[in-house]
Chain A
Amino acid sequence: MTEPTLLRDQHYQYLKKGLRHLSDAYECLDASRPWLCYWILHSLELLEEPVPTAIASDVCKFLARCQSPTGGFAGGPCQAAHLAPTYAAVNALCIIGTQEAYNIIDREKLLSFLFSVKQPDGSFVMHIGGEVDVRSTYCAASVASLTNIMTPTLFQDTPTWIVSCQNWEGGLGGVPGLEAHGGYTFCGMAAMVILGKEHMLDLKSLLRWVASRQMRYEGGFQGRCNKLVDGCYSFWQAGLLPLLHRALFKGGDSTLSLQKWMFEQQALQEYILLCCQNPAGGLLDKPGKSRDFYHTCYCLSGLSVAQHFGNMDLHHELIVGREENRLAPSHPVYNICPEKVAQAIQHFHQLPVPVPAQKEGEAPNRLS
Chain B
Amino acid sequence: MVEWSDFERATIQDIFSKMEYEVVGPAALSRCLVVYPWTQRYFGNFGNLYNAAAIIANPLVAKHGTTILHGLDRAVKNMDDIKATYAELSVLHSEKLHVDPDNFKLLSDCLTIVVAAKLGKDFTGDVQAAFQKFLAVVVSSLGRQYH
Binding between chains A and B: no
Which B residues fall within an 8 A CB radius of A?
none
Chain A interface (Cβ < 8 Å from any Cβ of B): none
